[in-house]
């Protein structure tokens, strides 16, 4: 399969070639023909699959092939709107548009909060064909009269599950209410819980569906490992892994902002150059840090989940989960930062005693057991053994009468559990009836 098989027009093909892409990724191969025909699309796919090109390339092609709509003065009219949950992802989408539209001559503007609106409003005044926006700033500028959505023909909602997690649901609904009825709509989400499907039905007509399963990307492209370690040893284990990986670009995930800062301080003490990005840093500081990381000015970037969302660093070969996320889907998002598109990546996860439940949830979600690496000085065999054991079956209340008298004694019930556990099915077995319902936990 090549991009020309997908009937991409020559000026866009040329730009794709310049990116060095030789073949479409699975989501591109599936989504591009659907979108070129003008269909709505419901896509289950995470960042890292080539999703951005899957929607920007056909969007640009359809814009190019449709008649130019210009106001009498010649000012460009907004025809496409792409909504993203974070500034980082918005910038990244805009970079993609700039790359692919090099020979078709469209102008895009990106807007997001946390910085002065001045540059953004003057860019809008100059006219644009495509707007990439985070929800809050978009509504703000609509309210101030800088943006009207009545000419939008293409609407893309990206990373919908993340939007909901971040509390953008009302903003999204307001934005949808301002769009023309007649439009092509695209809706992407890494996961498809019920709330997301309901939201998608308010946006899409009769969509075609494309699914790139998370486990397909995580299992096939990223080599994963669990390192059991007690909590106080995590910093030393991190230093150990970083030193072993010598000069690799590493993204370390911390669950909290405070934790991210603490990791950076600890690494500095060992002369390991690292910087943190999280919500307490200004947008400018975050962008600068990211830029420096991309330029290999330092090799270890420590990030919280929200700040890292959408980070696209090609050649990022290792992700370290310093803390396990309490929402299993987040694990999939995190390790999707490495192994981008056709690259091979590696993800190492530190797991302390208190985090074993999170690990179980993750393994259920991705339907695989992550291999354990015990070949390090901080290995915690006790936790490894506990995880290897199959889950205990709790004796059912109404089955008490049937129990052997020796086990009906509460003191013995623990032992009873351990007898049962050899009989129960492993949660990691492929055959186990794992319902992949993507239930969210309260954070």
Kindly state the smallest distance separating residue 383's Cβ from ligand AMP, in Å. 34
- Torsion over CA: 338, 24, 81, 43 (sign): negative
**Quick one: 10 or 167, whose CB is closer to ligand AMP?**
10
Kindly state the smallest distance separating residue 230's Cβ from ligand AMP, in Å. 35
Judged by CB under 6 A, the stretch of 118-126, 338-346, 350-358, 392-400 that binds ligand AMP is 338-346
Query: Does the protein bind ligand AMP through residue 341 (CB under 6 A)?
Result: yes
Query: Does the protein bind ligand AMP through residue 162 (CB under 6 A)?
Result: no
Query: Does the protein bind ligand AMP through residue 213 (CB under 6 A)?
Result: no
**Quick one: 314 or 400, whose CB is closer to ligand AMP?**
314
Query: Does the protein bind ligand AMP through residue 158 (CB under 6 A)?
Result: no
Of 95, 13, 94, 109, the closest CA to residue 61 belongs to: 13
Query: Does the protein bind ligand AMP through residue 338 (CB under 6 A)?
Result: no
Measuring CA to CA, how many Å separate 250 from each of 179, 199, 306, 342?
41, 36, 17, 18
Distance (Å, rounded) from C-alpha 255 to C-alpha 273? 20
Candidate residues 14, 21, 123, 176; the one interacting with ligand AMP per rule CB under 6 A: 21
Query: Does the protein bind ligand AMP through residue 48 (CB under 6 A)?
Result: yes
With CB under 6 A as the rule, give the number of residues binding ligand AMP. Answer: 16
Query: Does the protein bind ligand AMP through residue 342 (CB under 6 A)?
Result: yes
Query: Does the protein bind ligand AMP through residue 384 (CB under 6 A)?
Result: no
Candidate residues 8, 30, 43, 52; the one interacting with ligand AMP per rule CB under 6 A: 52
Judged by CB under 6 A, the stretch of 113-121, 172-180, 196-204, 336-344 that binds ligand AMP is 336-344
Measuring CA to CA, how many Å separate 424 from each of 244, 386, 393, 417, 437?
39, 15, 7, 10, 22
Kindly state the smallest distance separating residue 69's Cβ from ligand AMP, in Å. 28
Kindly state the smallest distance separating residue 423's Cβ from ligand AMP, in Å. 43
Candidate residues 340, 345, 350, 407; the one interacting with ligand AMP per rule CB under 6 A: 340
**Quick one: 137 or 340, whose CB is closer to ligand AMP?**
340
x-or-dash string of contact with ligand AMP, 226-245, rule CB under 6 A: --------------------
85 close to 113: Cβ distance less than 8 angstroms? no
Judged by CB under 6 A, the stretch of 24-32, 80-88, 370-378, 383-391 that binds ligand AMP is 24-32
Query: Does the protein bind ligand AMP through residue 62 (CB under 6 A)?
Result: no
Q: Residues in the site for ligand AMP, rule: CB under 6 A? A: 21, 24-25, 28, 47-53, 312, 314, 340-342
């Amino acid at each position: 399969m090549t991009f020309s098989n997908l009937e991409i027009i020559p000026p866009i093909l040329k730009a794709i070639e310049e990116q060095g892409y030789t073949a479409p990724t699975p989501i591109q191969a599936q989504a591009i023909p659907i979108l070129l025909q003008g269909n709505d699309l419901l896509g289950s796919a995470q960042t890292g699959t080539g999703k951005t090109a899957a929607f920007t390339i056909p969007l640009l092609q359809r814009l190019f092939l449709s008649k130019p709509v210009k106001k009498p003065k010649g000012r460009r009219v907004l025809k496409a709107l792409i909504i993203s949950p974070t500034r980082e992802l918005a910038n990244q989408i805009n970079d993609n548009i700039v790359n692919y539209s090099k020979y078709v001559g469209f102008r895009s503007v990106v807007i997001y909060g946390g910085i002065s609106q001045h540059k953004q409003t003057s860019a809008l005044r100059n006219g644009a064909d495509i707007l990439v926006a985070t929800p809050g700033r978009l509504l703000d500028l609509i309210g101030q009269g800088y943006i009207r959505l009545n000419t939008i023909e293409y609407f893309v909602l990206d990373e919908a599950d993340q939007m909901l997690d971040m509390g953008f649901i009302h903003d999204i609904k307001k934005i949808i209410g301002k769009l023309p009825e007649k439009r092509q709509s695209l809706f992407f989400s890494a996961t498809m819980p019920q709330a997301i499907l309901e939201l998608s039905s308010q946006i899409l007509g009769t969509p075609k569906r494309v699914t790139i399963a998370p486990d397909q990307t995580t299992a096939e492209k990223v080599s994963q490992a669990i390192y059991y370690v007690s909590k106080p040893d995590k910093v030393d284990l991190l230093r150990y892994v970083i030193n072993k990986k010598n000069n690799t670009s590493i993204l370390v995930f911390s669950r909290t902002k405070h934790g991210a800062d603490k990791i950076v301080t600890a690494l500095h003490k060992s002369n390991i150059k690292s910087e943190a990005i999280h919500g307490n840093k200004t947008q400018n500081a975050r962008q600068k840090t990211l830029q420096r990381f991309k330029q290999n000015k330092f090799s270890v970037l420590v990030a919280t989940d929200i700040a890292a969302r959408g980070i696209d660093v090609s050649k990022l070969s290792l992700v370290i989960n310093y803390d396990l996320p309490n929402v299993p889907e987040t694990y999939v998002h995190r390790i999707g930062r490495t192994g981008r598109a056709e690259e091979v990546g590696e993800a190492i996860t530190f797991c302390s005693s208190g985090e074993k439940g999170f690990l179980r949830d993750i393994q259920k979600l991705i339907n695989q057991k992550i291999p354990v690496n015990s070949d390090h000085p901080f290995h915690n065999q006790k936790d490894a053994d506990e995880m290897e054991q199959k889950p205990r079956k709790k004796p059912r209340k109404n089955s008490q009468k049937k129990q052997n008298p020796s086990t009906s004694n509460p003191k013995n019930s623990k032992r009873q559990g351990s007898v049962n556990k050899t009989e129960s099915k492993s949660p990691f077995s492929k055959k186990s009836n794992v319902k992949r319902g993507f239930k969210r936990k309260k954070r």
